[in-house]
């Protein structure tokens, strides 16, 4: 029963476009109206009608310690009582920066902002300011927030003018951004070595483990190529680790791949469930930012003390011995038996996992780049989403998203989820 939710949603819908403040929350095409949350605790969320759901969205990966983690909540309450915002520096910014810098050898200095969108947007501005060049390369299916110049259509080539992928963005704004196929070394090499590109390239930005077409890790060869070519062309390599930073391990994806990017973007987990994000890198690059340098960047709530406190607590908790190993083991309660099942019964589906993030893809045996998403069985995904939702499990409401397991997930709930998924495949394959 979702009567109360329905009533409140209708009210919201009349005063907020689509009833939501970020489009994916609408559960469009999956549910007649979305879930509306009353509260959360550990791995559970409770809706307005009192239905509870085991949550695998985890605020899109931000909540690696689950909902209302007692350590974080206590510290945040104490901090809030001391003042919630000053627009003046507090020592907490230094504490969180120190924690991040100690985990990421590529980062010598940090700057904090309030959202991942701001982090990537500012990192690109910095890269352009530092190199004195304009062209930026991103990859199809990678998401870097919604700054104008990132919203560019796929398949741009040197000879084509880039087209924006959202209304409200003049093509002029995206004309320096090019979107190339992910994990395609040949296409990348061909593109950057064009005479019209190679001297004008400011930066390459990439999700080293894509999380926004579902979980799709980059190949080592692909990332190595991005590293060596950007170095050669005196352009900056930006790792967007807004999801993977403190998710796939303390050192992020760059530690797993042993690659040193010039700049790294953070978000989600570093805010501990509050709006904090940031970007960092080598001192000579970071010092190009105002007030030291000529690249302007600012924010009223940047480095907000309550958000910094939450981030400090979140990272400190993640530094406990065995934290990431234990999360991965928990995640495998769901993923391992599925892989075995798909193989045994030759079901056209697959699971792609890195640590505690994974996606169950329908209709494909492997996803390497955006092209593969054309084979997704979206009808089956919908059936699956609704099947789980009706039985008290909330997964990210799109086939193109990652599921996140947190330390708040109990073995019992993971096993229940696993049982229901197997039951689904018994009934529908
Ligand atoms: C979520 C996300 C962003 C944008 O962060 P917001 O806080 O939503 O603005 C950027 N890059 C990646 C890889 C993300 O997953």
Residue 157, pLDDT score: 64
CATH, domain range 70-318: 3.40.640.10
Protein residue with least CA distance to atom 5, ligand 1: 116
Strand partners, 201: 135
Question: Is the C-beta atom of 208 inside 6 A of ligand 1?
Answer: no
pLDDT digits (tens, 9 = 90+) for 277-298: 999 999 999 999 999 999 999 9
Which residue's alpha carbon is at the smallest distance from atom 10 of ligand 1? 144
Fold (topology level) of 3-68+322-428: 3.90.1150
Based on the residue annotation, tell me whether 240 is a catalytic residue of this protein: yes
Q: Is 244 in the pocket of ligand 1 (CB under 6 A)?
A: no
Convert the pLDDT of each residue in 58-103 to its tens digit: 999 999 999 999 999 999 999 999 999 999 999 999 999 999 999 9
| 175 annotated active-site | no
User: Which listed residue (268, 324, 372, 400) is catalytic?
Assistant: 268
Instruction: Name the residue among 402, 145, 41, 91 with its Cα closest to residue 248.
Output: 402
CA 292 vs CA 236, 249, 288, 295: distances in Å: 20, 33, 6, 9
pLDDT at 284: 98
Q: How far is CA 2 from CA 43, 106, 338, 424, in A?
A: 21, 48, 31, 23
Domain residue ranges in the chain: 3-68+322-428, 70-318
pTM of the model: 0.98
Query: What token pair was written down for 87?
Result: 């627009």
Q: Which of 43, 240, 262, 372 is catalytic?
A: 240
Q: Which of 114, 121, 218, 268 to mutate to test the pocket of ligand 1 (most atoms within 8 A of CB)?
A: 268
Q: Which residue positions in the chain have pLDDT lower than 70?
A: 155-159
- What local confidence, expressed as pLDDT, does residue 242 receive? 98
Distance between Cα 419 and ligand 1 center (Å): 32
pLDDT at 162 (0 to 100): 84
Q: Residues with Cβ < 8 Å from 425, sequence gap 6 or more? A: 341, 345, 347
* pLDDT in the model for residue 156: 55
User: How many other CB atoms sit within 10 Å of the CB of residue 98?
Assistant: 12
Query: Alpha-carbon distance 310 to 307, whole Å?
Result: 5
């Amino acid at each position: 029963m979702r009567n109360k939710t329905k009533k409140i949603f209708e009210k919201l819908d009349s005063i907020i476009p689509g009833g939501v403040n970020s489009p994916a929350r609408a559960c469009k095409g999956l549910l007649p109206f979305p879930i509306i949350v009353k509260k959360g605790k550990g791995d559970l969320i409770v809706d307005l009608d009192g239905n509870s759901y085991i949550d695998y969205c985890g605020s899109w990966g931000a909540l690696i310690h689950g909902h209302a983690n007692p350590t974080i909540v206590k510290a945040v309450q104490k901090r809030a009582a001391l003042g919630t915002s000053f627009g003046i520096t507090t020592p907490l910014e230094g504490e969180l920066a120190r924690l991040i810098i100690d985990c990421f050898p590529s980062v010598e200095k940090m700057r904090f902002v309030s959202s991942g969108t701001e982090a990537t947007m500012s990192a690109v501005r910095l890269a352009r300011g530092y190199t004195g060049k304009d062209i930026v390369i991103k990859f199809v299916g990678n998401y870097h927030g919604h700054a104008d110049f990132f919203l560019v259509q796929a398949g741009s080539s040197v000879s084509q003018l880039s087209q924006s992928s959202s209304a409200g963005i003049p093509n002029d704004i995206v004309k320096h951004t090019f979107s190339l196929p992910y994990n395609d070394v040949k296409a990348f090499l061909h593109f950057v070595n064009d005479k019209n590109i190679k001297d004008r390239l400011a930066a390459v930005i990439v999700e080293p483990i894509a999380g926004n077409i579902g979980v799709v890790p980059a190949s080592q060869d692909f990332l190595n190529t991005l590293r060596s070519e950007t170095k050669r062309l005196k352009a900056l390599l930006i790792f967007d680790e807004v999801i993977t930073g403190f998710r796939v391990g303390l050192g992020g994806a760059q530690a797993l791949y042993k690659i040193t990017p010039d700049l790294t973007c953070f978000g989600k987990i570093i805010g501990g469930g509050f709006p904090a994000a940031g970007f960092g890198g080598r001192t000579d690059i970071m010092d190009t930012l105002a007030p030291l340098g000529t690249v302007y960047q600012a924010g009223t709530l940047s480095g907000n003390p309550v958000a910094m406190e939450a981030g400090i607590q979140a990272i400190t908790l993640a530094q406990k011995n065995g934290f990431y190993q234990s999360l991965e083991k928990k995640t495998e309660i769901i993923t391992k038996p599925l892989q075995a099942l798909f193989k045994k019964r030759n079901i056209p589906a697959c699971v792609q996992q890195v640590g505690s993030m994974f996606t169950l893809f329908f209709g494909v045996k492997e996803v390497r780049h955006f092209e593969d998403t054309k084979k997704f069985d979206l009808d089956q995904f919908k059936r699956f989403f609704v099947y789980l939702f009706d039985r008290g499990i909330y997964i990210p409401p799109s086939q193109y998203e990652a599921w996140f397991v947190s330390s708040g997930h109990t073995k019992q709930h993971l096993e229940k989820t696993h049982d229901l998924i197997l039951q689904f495949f018994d009934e529908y394959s």
